[in-house]
Amino acid sequence: MTPASPLTAASAAPGKSRRIALAVLLLAICALPFLVTNYHTFQLTMVLVYAIALLGLNILTGYNGQISLGHGAFYAIGAYVAAILMDKWGVPYWATVPVAGLVCLAAGFLFGLPALRLEGLYLALATFALGVSMPQLLKYKHLEYWTGGVQGIVIMKPDPPFGLPINQDQWLYYFTLAIALVMFLLGWNLLRGRVGRSLIAIRDQPIAAEAMGVNNSLYKSLAFGVSAMYTGVAGALGAIAVQFVAPDSFNIFLSITFLVGIVIGGLASIPGAIYGAIFIQFVPNIADQISKAAPWAIYGVFMIGFVYLMPVGVAGAIRIAWARIRRGSGRNGQQ
Amino acid sequence: MLQTQATSGNSLLAVDGVSVHFGGIVALDGVSFDIAPGQIAGLIGPNGAGKTTLFNCLSRLYRWQGGRIVFDGQSLLDIPRHRIATVGIGRTFQNLALFRSMSVHDNVMLGRHCRTRSGFLSNALRLPRVVREERASAEQAAQLVAFLGLEADADKRVSDLPFGTQKRVELARALASEPRLLLLDEPACGLNHEEVHALGKLIHDIRGRLGITVLLVEHHMSLVMSVSDKVVALNFGRKIAEGTPAEVQQHPEVVQAYLGNGD
Ligand SMILES: Nc1ncnc2c1ncn2[C@@H]1O[C@H](COP(=O)(O)OP(=O)(O)OP(=O)(O)O)[C@@H](O)[C@H]1O
Ligand SMILES: [Mg+2]
């Protein structure tokens, strides 16, 4: 979180250059699908999907200090809501995304209520229980009509609309990108003002937060709901991109991977969600290329390396480096 | 309700026979006193006398087993913990309770929480009224930061600042909530001689310029005695004296309590 005061005149100048940099970056991101293969485009789509999920988890764990070892469950709920809506009711794919988000908002809020009594490791255990039980719930016999049981549900890949001259993978990328941009904009707005400050205050010093008028219980359960909503939206987008949902793709390992993502990317950082998403999407592949025999050992080495070299996450490391560059150039400018 | 009105009379805060025990320990034992609007009241007593316990009751952090606390005609029991700031009771903490990872400015901004209303949806959409509210809060926070001489540190993380500065940040944060009653728990602790002197002036300003009633817990006797209109002395959870600073200072039980503790 950048604590820069809106009153300082200094923030105006970097604000402008930052805006230009953002515009250039956005252009590059839009050009990407034309520069790489379809498979890589699909992988980039998954980076966007994970980035949304990680932003959600970061709101809860990074900003508000409530640890979750079970966010894979909300991702699964989002994915299944999308798949079932398309499979059973023929709902168009784009309309399933907001529904998945709302269902997860409610699910997260409701789970957050009893979780209010739990803190630290106990909350970790409760969310772990949620994450670890989700695949089995999805296989539950009496839900099989909806969930397709162990077989899961196959989804059709959407065609680009309005006769756009791009292929399906490219379209999915832009569709996901548009939603990711909206979600990040909303998240940034949420976190930079009164609500974001309160979430951090609860994490830093809950007693003082409440003494200043923050309704801790309400904010914590809403944080849970919003967090689950983000992850659910990601789940729906992921299901559409992968064209398939099955219980075992949403095992506890997915939840742990999300946690890895926010820690590596940077806790309580919005860009951190993107860095974390790049890590969890590509590092397993790289590890696999390095050693077919022990890819997870290589993954572990990467993880330890990142944590060792960037103890405050990639976002933190970039922030520190950037501050150093700025301070350096400032000094040169004065001489 | 009628009874409530009667006890509070024209006092802002009425503490009436309040008792708190933790297991076998009696932290407060039937303590009663009133504070009139605009007063600076001192609360003294040796270590463990129950001063912070009383503050924690006023913040609704602790439950009291007996007695009543009435603030501005309203029983505190009817006010949930997170509404205490809204009704007008602000406080600082004996052992700093700042939001460590946030800047000075943001800490003070958080003090405005109870005076602002925008919620999750309007923040996410950054509606014009959110922008307006945020700007007004930022202005007020900047004024308080200046009032407490914290301008140079406004954008620094509070955890990077020296103890004395952090204490001023807590005070700024408490003032940001526009309290009618301000509870200060040992604000002079850890300050040097000049800083204590400046603090005395500041407390006078808070009452004089901002019109805020103050309840001051302090071991620093010359500070309490010089700023307070009245002083209440506790020992082992019981009120042993109440009156003007001069009266309380000479009260035999007070003298005894402090000598007995070698303080
Ligand atoms: N949460 C608690 N649980 C158990 N005992 C407590 C608790 N809070 C306070 N006490 C006890 O109540 C008594 C009064 O403590 P309190 O902190 O109110 O004293 P104080 O007057 O503020 O002292 P000091 O000047 O040292 O700050 C002490 O015996 C203390 O140990
Ligand atoms: Mg105390």
pLDDT tens digit sequence for A139-158: 887 777 777 777 888 888 88
Q: Count CA within 13 A, CB hemisphere, residue A330.
A: 9
Distance B59 CA to ligand 2 centre (A): 14
**Closest Cα in chain A to B156:** A3
Q: What is the pLDDT confidence band of residue A16, given thresholds at 50, 70 and 90?
A: confident
Give me the mean pLDDT over the B195-217 stretch.
94
Gap from B257 CA to chain A (nearest CA, Å): 32
Distance B188 CA to ligand 2 centre (A): 13
| pLDDT surpasses 50 at B6 | no
Mutate to test the interface with A, among B83, B100, B101, B140 (most CBs of A within 10 A): B101
| pLDDT surpasses 80 at B8 | no
**Is residue B166 within 8 Å of B190, Cβ to Cβ?**
no
Give chain A's mean pLDDT.
88
* CA–CA dist A127, B86 (Å, integer): 34
Q: What is the pLDDT of residue B263?
A: 45
Name the strand (E) or helix (H) holding B31.
strand B25-35
Query: Which ipTM score applies to this complex?
Result: 0.91
Could you tell me if A325 lies within 8 Å of chain B, comparing CB atoms? no
Name the strand (E) or helix (H) holding B75.
strand B74-75
On chain B, the residues whose CB falls within 8 A of the CB of A189 are 123-126
| pLDDT surpasses 60 at B239 | yes
Mutate to test the pocket of ligand 1, among B28, B51, B238 (most ligand atoms within 8 A of CB): B51
The residue whose CA has the least distance to atom 30 of ligand 1 is: B48
> CA dihedral defined by B128, B129, B135, B137, rounded to 10 degrees?
-160
Could you tell me if A187 lies within 8 Å of chain B, comparing CB atoms? yes
Query: pLDDT by residue (tens digit) across B124-167?
Result: 999 999 999 999 999 999 999 999 999 999 999 999 999 889 99
Q: How far, CA to CA in Å, does A109 sit from each of A68, A210, A252, B183? A: 14, 20, 21, 35
Phi, psi of B262 (to 5 degrees): 65, 25
Where is pLDDT greater, at B243 or A144? B243
Q: What is the pLDDT confidence band of residue A6, given thresholds at 50, 70 and 90?
A: very low
Q: What is the pLDDT of residue B30?
A: 94
* CA–CA dist A103, A77 (Å, integer): 8
**Closest Cα in chain B to A197:** B110
Q: What is the DSSP letter of B154?
A: T
Query: pLDDT by residue (tens digit) across A66-84?
Result: 999 999 999 999 999 999 9
Q: What is the pLDDT of residue A56?
A: 97
Single-letter code of the amino acid located at A211: A
Q: What is the pLDDT of residue B53?
A: 96
Q: What 3-state DSSP class applies to A307?
A: helix
Structure tokens at A178: 């548009």
Q: What is the pLDDT of residue B10?
A: 82
Q: CB-based contacts of B92: which residues, under 8 Å, 6+ apart?
A: B167, B170, B171, B174, B183, B184, B185, B187
**Is residue A116 within 8 Å of A220, Cβ to Cβ?**
yes
Q: CB-based contacts of A250: which residues, under 8 Å, 6+ apart?
A: A72, A73, A75, A76, A79, A134, A135, A138
**Closest Cα in chain A to B56:** A211
Give me the mean pLDDT over the A36-47 stretch.
91
**Is residue B138 within 8 Å of A11, Cβ to Cβ?**
no
| pLDDT surpasses 80 at A9 | no
Q: What is the pLDDT of residue A12?
A: 44
Does the distance separating the beta carbons of A186 and B134 come in below 8 Å?
no
Q: What 3-state DSSP class applies to B15?
A: strand
Q: What is the DSSP letter of B234?
A: E
* CA–CA dist B253, A284 (Å, integer): 74
Distance B55 CA to ligand 1 centre (A): 11
| pLDDT surpasses 70 at B76 | yes
Mutate to test the interface with B, among A64, A183, A194 (most CBs of B within 10 A): A194
| pLDDT surpasses 60 at A10 | no
Q: What is the pLDDT confidence band of residue B7, given thresholds at 50, 70 and 90?
A: very low
Does the distance separating the beta carbons of A215 and B82 come in below 8 Å?
yes
Pocket of ligand 1 (CB under 6 A): B 22, 25, 27, 45, 47-53, 94
* CA–CA dist B210, A238 (Å, integer): 56
Give the β-pairing of B230-235 and B238-243.
antiparallel
The residues pairing with B69 across neighbouring beta strands, listed in sequence order, are B15
Q: What is the pLDDT confidence band of residue B262, given thresholds at 50, 70 and 90?
A: very low
Phi, psi of A212 (to 5 degrees): -90, 5
Q: What is the pLDDT confidence band of residue A169, given thresholds at 50, 70 and 90?
A: confident
Does the distance separating the beta carbons of B99 and A200 come in below 8 Å?
yes
Q: What is the pLDDT confidence band of residue B260, given thresholds at 50, 70 and 90?
A: low
Query: pLDDT by residue (tens digit) across A250-287?
Result: 999 999 999 999 999 999 999 999 999 999 999 988 98
Give chain B's mean pLDDT.
91
Q: What is the pLDDT of residue B9?
A: 59
Q: What is the pLDDT confidence band of residue A314, given thresholds at 50, 70 and 90?
A: very high
Q: What 3-state DSSP class applies to A169?
A: helix
Query: pLDDT by residue (tens digit) across A91-111?
Result: 999 999 999 999 999 999 999
Helices (H) and strands (E) in chain A, counts: 14, 2
Q: What is the pLDDT of residue A119?
A: 85
The residue whose CA has the least distance to atom 12 of ligand 1 is: B27
Distance A313 CA to ligand 2 centre (A): 39
